[in-house]
Amino acid sequence: MNISTLDHETIREVFVKTRPKSWPFKHRWLILFVGLPTLLAVIYYGFIASPIYVSQSTFVIKSPGKTSVPSLSLANLVQSGGLTAGKDQTQEVLQYIRSRNGLRDLEKTTNVRAKFENSRGDVLSRFPAPFGDRSFESLYRYYGSMVGASLDPDSGLALVEAKAFTPRDAFQINAKLLELSEALVNRLNERAQSRAVTEAAKRVDEAQARVREARLALNAYRNQQDLVDPKAEAEGILEVTNKLIAERATLQAQLDLTLRVAPRNPSVPAIRDRIAAISRQIDAQTGRAVGTPTGIASKATTYEQLSVDQEIATQMLTAAQASLEQARTEAQKQQFYLERVVEPNLPDDALLPHRLKRILVVFAVSLCLYFIGWMLVVGILEHAPED
């Protein structure tokens, strides 16, 4: 081998080793981890991703009441007219919309599966997802991504968003969710009213039972003792006794006068017989009232106790009936109402996906991950031991 040939080959080898590498090869990792995901995002969001229509509506839960602080804010304008917002009830309704029960009720009233499986949706957007199944749990997870329900803490307004691949489907889902929410509020009202009124009605039934028992006991005692009203009978006996006593006093005075004037008057024995008969009648009438086990006085104690029991039971019944009416009134005052502020709209333009935004997000995330990986590799190489 001559020197010229050796020099030529050596120069060529040195040139190849020192020749600068091409830009794609030099930045192959950047292209792989940043360029390729961004290109796929451009292809998907630019040419494949289906338009998604969003129907929105807002509502507020209100109850009878008075607002205290006047204001021109939207919340106070919505809550005006003697009604106050029930944020706790709004949270319950929103939780229901996001729940499995809400999805089940929605399935019963509208074919939500068919709307989410619409062929207008691309394979990555529609239900079921690639490599996914059609189970209810999968549908529920997909439902959570297509239906949103949130509460604005400042205004107290609840926002419901329904997404679908056609404007009509989005509108129907949103409208049906509002109908189901109104039905839920009505059920909650009925349940609360039923609890309060049922408890009061139960007390009324118990009081009525006590009144019946007291009346039956009093009537049984009257029949047993042949007694209608001890007080009235005692007053009658007293009246008769007083008349007999007055009559006896009159006869006694007549007898005394006759004995002084004409002791041998033949009417004296007759007057004495009448006085003796009247005295026996007085003793008999007194015995009916007092002094014997069968006297009215001995019966009056039990009778009065039974009468007091009946009166107390009647008063308790009156109080229970008043409580029942009050419970019904309070239940009416505590009822809540779902007031629609913004009706579900029929979208005329697709709001999703935000194509440019999604592409930029993919690019930014990929670029950040690339630089993080690059810094990790550089750090490892700098601290690696030299051979």
6 band by pLDDT with thresholds 50, 70 and 90: very low
Say which DSSP state 52 is in.
Answer: B
CA distances from 209 to 34, 206, 267 (A): 83, 5, 65
Note the pLDDT of residue 116: 93
Q: Which of 46-50, 62-66, 296-300, 375-379 has the highest mean pLDDT?
A: 46-50
Tell me, letter by letter, the H, E, C secondary structure of 280-309: HHHHHHHHHHCCCCCCHHHHHHHHHHHHHH
Phi then psi for residue 150, to 5 deg, are: -140, 165
Task: Report the distance separating Cα 234 and Cα 300, nearest Å.
Answer: 10
What local confidence, expressed as pLDDT, does residue 230 receive? Answer: 64
pLDDT for 143 equals 95
Q: Is the pLDDT of residue 210 over 50?
A: yes
The pair of three-digit structure tokens given for residue 386, joined into one six-digit string: 């030299």
Hey, where are the domains in the chain?
24-48+353-387, 49-199+336-351, 204-332
Q: With bands split at pLDDT 50, 70 and 90, how would you rate the model's confidence at 309? A: confident
- The CATH homologous superfamily to which domain 49-199+336-351 belongs is FepE-like (3.30.1890.10)
Q: Is 159 helix (H, G, I), strand (E, B) or coil?
A: strand
State how far the Cα of 85 lies from the Cα of 62, in Å rounded to an integer: 4
Stretch 60-85: mean pLDDT: 52
| pLDDT bucket at 80, cuts 50 / 70 / 90 | very low
pLDDT per position as a tens digit, 259-289:
787 777 787 788 888 888 888 887 676 666 5
* Confidence grade of residue 9 (pLDDT, cut at 50, 70, 90): low
Residues 351 and 50: beta-carbon distance below 8 Å:
no
For the chain, give the percent of residues with pLDDT over 70: 76
**H helix or E strand, kind and range, residue 156:** none
Contact 62, 84 (CB under 8 A): yes
Assign 7 a pLDDT band (cuts: 50, 70, 90).
low
Q: pLDDT digit string (tens) for 218-256?
A: 777 667 666 666 666 656 666 777 787 888 888 788 878
pLDDT at 2 over 60: no
Q: How far apart are CA 259 and CA 252, in angstroms?
A: 10
